[in-house]
Structure formats: structure tokens, C-alpha cells
Amino acid sequence: MKQSKIFILLFFLFLIQGTVMPLIPFYSVGNNVQIISEFVLVALLMLAFFGSLSWGLKYAILFGFLIDIIYASVLGVYAFSLTLTVYLVYSISKWVNMNTAMTILLVAVGVCMQQFEVYVIYLMIGVTDQQLGFFFQFRLLPTVCLNAVFTMLIYYPFRRFFERLSDGIEK
């Protein structure tokens, strides 16, 4: 029951990323600005922080492959980078005291990591040929801003939801 609740939540965010977000006219903000929604990653990080890491990793692999199949042309890239990001950011989170500001900061770090990992892999296999300067200036900064705002909005409901769920799970 708990599993299915988490799955439905993540799946809903996954759908939003591909259907609703592209409809919002972000390109009117600036000519070249690329604002990417990484809502699944944000939810997975919150799940790892306040729920349990093992669930976070499992769902990271599952949704990574879903993203690869539905939204990407090369398999495995998102599955690998999502899982790695969730694990690394969770490792950092053990060293610090978790509060609202810290969570948002860590999510921002996670989004940066995720974007950079996918960028490096795609650059190596030739899916993209975006310049590094362009990536940092027009893509990373606005993307981090959007996802930080999203984290602020969902912080309290998600935290309560995951903490209540994790009561029953042995960590």
C-alpha cells in the first residue's frame, strides 16, 4: 500500500515533466534559456532524506529507466545518473543537520550533479554538442532556480508524507 502511494506520486510527477511543463512558455523568458524540470529527482531526494535510502535507490533505477524509454533515445543514461546522484547527495546529507534551507541547498546540488552527469555522458556519445559555457550560463542556472522553487513549494507536504511512511520501514 505504502509502496503504491510512493509510486503513484512519482509517476504523476514523471507525467507532469513531459506533458505539462513543455506547455509552459519558458522560452519567452529569454531567447536561449533552457529550463528543465527535474521534479522526479527532487521527490527521490526527499524520499532518500526523510524516507529510506534503499527505497530511494530502487525508485531511482525504476524511474531512470522509464525516463530513458519515454523521453530519451539512449537507454541507461538516466537510470545510472539518477541512482548515482541520489546516493551521493544522501551521503552528503548524513554530514549535515537537515532543515529547510539545507534541504533546498542539497536538492540544488543534486540537480546540478544530475544535469552535469547526463551532459557529460551525452557529450561523450554524441547525443548533444552543447558548449560548456552555454550549459552553465543558459541551462544550469535557470534549471536550479526552477527546481529550488519547486522544492520550497513541496517541502512540508512531502516531508510529512515520507516521514509518516518511513515509520513502518526499518532503516
Partner 1 sequence: MPSFFSNKKLIVLLTSLIVLIALISYSLKEGTRATWTEQFVQDVVGGFQYVVNVPARYVAGFFENVSDIENAYKENKRLKENLTNYASVEQENRDLTSQNKELKAQLGMKNDPSLSEYTKYSATLISRSYDQWNQLLTLDKGKVNGIKNGMPVITSGKRLVGSVTKVGNFTSKVSLISDDQNVNQISAMIEPKNGDTIYGMIEGYNQNKGTLLFGKIPIKAKVKKGQTVTTSGLSGKYSKGLVIGTVTSVSTDQYGLTKAAQIKPAADLNHLNYVLVIEKKKQVGGKGN
Nearer of residues 96 and 156 to partner 1, judged by Cβ: 96
Q: Is 145 in the site for partner 1 (CB under 8 A)?
A: no
**Residue of 53, 62, 72, 148 that binds partner 1 (CB under 8 A):** 72
**Residue of 6, 48, 77, 107 that binds partner 1 (CB under 8 A):** 77
**Residue of 1, 29, 101, 129 that binds partner 1 (CB under 8 A):** 129
159 phi and psi angles, rounded to 5 deg: -60, -45
The full 3-state SS of the chain, as one line of letters, equals CHHHHHHHHHHHHHHHHHHCHHHCCHHHCCCCCCCCCCHHHHHHHHHHHHCCHHHHHHHHHHHHHHHHHHHCCCCCHHHHHHHHHHHHHHHHHCCCCCCHHHHHHHHHHHHHHHHHHHHHHHHHHCCCCCCHHHHHHHHHHHHHHHHHHHHHHHHHHHHHHHHHHHCCCCC
Q: Is 76 in the site for partner 1 (CB under 8 A)?
A: yes
Least distance (Å) between residue 10 CB and partner 1: 13
Q: Is 62 in the site for partner 1 (CB under 8 A)?
A: no
Least distance (Å) between residue 100 CB and partner 1: 25
Least distance (Å) between residue 98 CB and partner 1: 17
Nearer of residues 100 and 131 to partner 1, judged by Cβ: 131
Q: Is 54 in the site for partner 1 (CB under 8 A)?
A: no
How far is it, in rounded angstroms, from Cα 3 to Cα 25? 34
Task: Give the type of residue at 11.
Answer: F
Nearer of residues 32 and 99 to partner 1, judged by Cβ: 32
* C-alpha grid cell, residue 94: 548524513
Least distance (Å) between residue 161 CB and partner 1: 21
User: Which 107-126 positions form the footprint of partner 1 (CB under 8 A)?
Assistant: 118-119, 121-122, 125-126
Q: Is 36 in the site for partner 1 (CB under 8 A)?
A: yes
Say if CB 60 and CB 110 are below 8 A apart.
Answer: no
